[in-house]
Amino acid sequence: LKKNSLKWQIAIYLGTFAAVLISVIWIFQMFLLQPMFEKSKISAVKKTADTVSEAILSSEEDLNEAIYDISLQNETCVRILTSNMTVTAGNSGCALYRMKGRELKENIDNAVENGGSYLNTKTDPGFELNGRELKEITYTKIIDNGDDLNVVMVYTGITPLNATTDTLRSQLKWITLIVVVLITLIIIVLNRKIALPLSSITKEAARLPDGAYHADEKNNQYREAQQLNETLEQAAEDIRKADQAKRDLIANVSHDLRTPLTMISGYGEMMKDLPGENNEENLQVIIDESKRLTVLVNDLLDLSKMQAGRITLELTDFDLAELIRNEIRKYDVYQYNESFEFEVHLPETAMVHADEKRIQQVFNNFMTNAINYSGDSRKVIISMTLENGHVRTEVKDFGEGIDEKNLKNIWDRYYKVDKQHVRFSSGSGLGLSIVREILDLHDAEYGVRSKMNEGSTFWFELPLIQK
């Protein structure tokens, strides 16, 4: 189901809001104005009756003056009678004084039957305004002041609001027109400030799979659009890097496969065609290149399986310090043949719970990397420290080092910091990628510290087995 575009969503939401707002105003003014006005007048007569009652009970000295003020304030008429229908106070001249005795008695009797108060609402057929009859409200309240019963009667009239309604109707038409114009302008502004930049970003984002996204500063109308632009631009840059890494991967794998295959093929043909070359030395070259091929293929398979989550760790308890001591012995050949110096600082024991073969693989990759990038110093320091229930293993070389901007990329497949300063190696170029995958599977901490012309230190950390 195709969704509406953002500009139409904005128009629909704001249009709906305006329609609801105008409808509510029209309903209140056209249909609820008269009932609400009547309710307020009823409240006014009851309030007047209560105030006058308090004045009677408190024996107000100038009761007529108090009644006048109250009546003026609430636009009401007040009449006070005794139980025998004798008028004691009030403001003369209103409809209460034109009320016949029978009608007075009827209101008082209804008040007595009703528990002390009675509200009488009726229309006056003798008075009309714009086709509507005047509505009269009479409120009767009985007061027992101890000596006698007093009757407080409060009257007010409700004039029809035809003229007011007509005036409001005319105003509401203009208000409706103004609201429609304002909502239209708001929709246009929001579309230009929000919808159009997002539409432009979306159109440009269609080029993202090719890594060709370019952020337009004109679309940075607000912070979220700017952040989206920056995120997509970073994604495009990552796609370009990933695409370049894919091409580099193919090129490097092809090169690493072709080189030993060429050596094997060349030496094989030479041994076949030249009987004098069929010797142990040439045969060893073929064996070495075959091993190199095996290492490369195994590393590719391992990395692929790890990234696909198809590798299961075989966790056991073992002594990491003993493991590293045994592994370092394998590198004695570099001391004898190439004058390497290995400085070792290991504790007596460091028991961990991990996959022994995979941790061995991690250490050997760090060692291979240190040897390849040791430069002319030919010195490598292997150290292990125990702290806070963890054991940290470090392999430090004194080579060219790694520029800070390249540190985050060294764990990528086939990433080469500087090919000029690397020694010849039979490694696959996937070592640090494999290290990352193995240590991530162990939820282990790892990293690298490096300074240019001072060397690099690769490390990983595992929790010790608590005795």
State the pLDDT at residue 467: 66
Helices in 308-422 by DSSP H: which ranges? 320-329, 332-338, 356-372
Concatenated DSSP letters of 414-439: T--S-GGGPPP----S-HHHHHHHHH
Q: Are strands 132-144 and 149-158 parallel, antiparallel or unpaired?
A: antiparallel
Which two structure tokens, joined as six digits, stand for 459?
Answer: 């490390």
CA 67 to chain centre: 64
SS3 label, residue 214: coil
Domains of the chain from N-terminus onward: 32-160 (3.30.450.20), 223-307 (1.10.287.130), 315-463 (3.30.565.10)
Q: What letter represents residue 92's amino acid? A: S
From CA 135, how far away is CA 232, in angstroms rounded? 71
State residue 326's pLDDT score. Answer: 92
Task: Give the CA distances from residue 238 to residues 208, 407, 409, in Å, rounded to whole numbers and listed in that order.
Answer: 10, 16, 12
Phi, psi of 159 (to 5 degrees): -80, 145
**Residue 182: partners with Cβ closer than 8 Å, 6 or more residues away:** none
Going through 265-389 in order, the beta strands assigned E by DSSP cover 315-319, 341-345, 351-355, 379-387
Q: How far apart are CA 70 and CA 57, in angstroms?
A: 16
Provide the residue-wise pLDDT of the chain in tens; the chain has 467 residues. 456 676 777 788 888 888 888 888 878 777 777 788 888 888 888 888 888 888 877 776 677 777 788 877 777 888 888 766 666 666 666 777 777 888 888 888 888 888 888 988 887 655 555 555 678 888 988 887 666 678 888 888 877 666 666 777 777 888 888 888 888 888 888 777 777 777 777 777 777 776 666 666 666 666 777 777 777 777 777 777 777 777 777 776 776 677 778 878 888 888 888 877 778 888 888 887 788 788 778 777 777 777 677 778 889 999 999 999 999 988 888 888 888 999 999 999 999 999 998 899 899 889 988 988 888 888 999 999 999 999 999 999 998 888 888 787 787 755 555 444 444 444 555 778 888 888 998 999 999 999 888 899 999 999 999 86
Q: Which two tokens stand for residue 349?
A: 């024991």
The confidence score (pLDDT) of residue 106 equals 87
Tell me the C-alpha distance between 42 and 199, whole Å: 58
With 0-12 CB in 10 A as exposed, 13-18 as middle and 19+ as buried, what is 171? exposed
What pLDDT is stored for residue 433 in this prediction? 81
CB atoms within 10 A of CB 256: 23
CB count within 10 Å of CB 435 equals 22
Burial class (CB in 10 A: 0-12, 13-18, 19+), 233: middle
pLDDT at residue 421, as a whole number: 41
Of 139, 153, 136, 144, which Cα lies nearest the Cα of 78? 153
For residue 257, which amino acid is it?
Answer: L
Three-state DSSP class for residue 291: helix
- Residue pair 299/428 in contact by the 8 Å Cβ criterion: yes
Burial (Cβ within 10 Å: 0-12, 13-18, ≥19) of residue 205: middle
Cβ neighbours for 175, distance < 8 A, ≥ 6 positions apart: 22, 25
